Amino acid sequence: MPIISLEEGRQIGKIRGVVVDPRNFSIAAVVTDKQSWFGEYKIIPYEHVMSIGDHAVTIDKKNNIEKPANLPEISALMKDSPPLLGGKVFSEDGTLLGIVEEFVFNAETGEIKSLEVTGRFIDSFLRGRTSLSISTVLTIGADAIIVRNHSEDEISRIDSPLKKKMRDLSSTGKKLLGSTRKKTKKLGDSLNDSLDRFTGGDENTDENDEK
């Protein structure tokens, strides 16, 4: 998404990625795109991110965009911090639970709230993508994300947007079908009543003709 400076009222770049702090389970900074072909990626400490909206990310002012070299701690995280996405999730007893596909964080504080995990082990419990609370995570390391034993008991299912839409469509379809059946039955009953009246009228007419 584009990055908008509130002080200047200008777009000053686009979000390239985020820098994760594995010790505090939080977002340390956001990374901007290169400003030129030979330029370098710059960073914005997350404390200067004012809001993450539907269409843009806002920061307080342009001056808070920094070169990584000016912020050694964040620069070190960019170089040495293990990637969270694609990380393998193991329980303490060595069971591979799955792989991190996404993560959810608090837009105001940058605190990571949960990991969205998928994998064969998880599929045996719940099919599709699942959510694992960050409270179960012990370590985010270079080769693995370690969670407490029995963390699978705290796994909850996340429906994909497509599945949710299909479920909503199915629900709507069932309601529509039920409504159609009621209308069809009402129409059928009405037609039957009309036919009965019509048939009864014919019989009376025949009797009068015979008389």
With left for phi above 0 and alpha for psi between -120 and 50, is residue 25 left, alpha or beta?
left
Helix (H, G, I), strand (E, B) or coil at 139: strand
As given in the structure block, the two tokens for residue 118 are: 């998928």
Q: How many other CB atoms are there within 10 angstroms of residue 161's CB atom?
A: 7
- Tell me the C-alpha distance between 209 and 55, whole Å: 81
Q: Domain range holding 34? A: 2-80
Tens digits of per-residue pLDDT, 19-70?
999 999 999 999 988 766 666 788 999 999 999 988 999 999 888 888 888 9
Q: Percent of the chain, pLDDT > 90?
A: 30
Q: Which amino acid is at 89?
A: V
Q: How far from the centroid of its chain's Cα atoms is residue 49's Cα?
A: 21
Residue 42 domain flag: yes
Tens digits of per-residue pLDDT, 80-109?
877 788 899 999 999 888 899 889 999 999
Q: Are residues 40 and 14 in the same domain?
A: yes
Residue 144 domain flag: yes
Q: Domain tally for the chain?
A: 2
Q: Are residues 151 and 121 in the same domain?
A: yes
The CATH number of whichever domain residue 35 belongs to comes to 2.30.30.240
Whole-model pTM?
Answer: 0.64
**Mean pLDDT of the region 182-210:** 57
At residue 30, φ and ψ (nearest 5 deg) are -110, 150
Please measure the distance between the N-terminal and C-terminal CA atoms of the chain and give it in whole angstroms.
90
Residue 66 domain flag: yes
Q: Are residues 59 and 92 in the same domain?
A: no
Q: What is the model's pLDDT at position 186?
A: 65
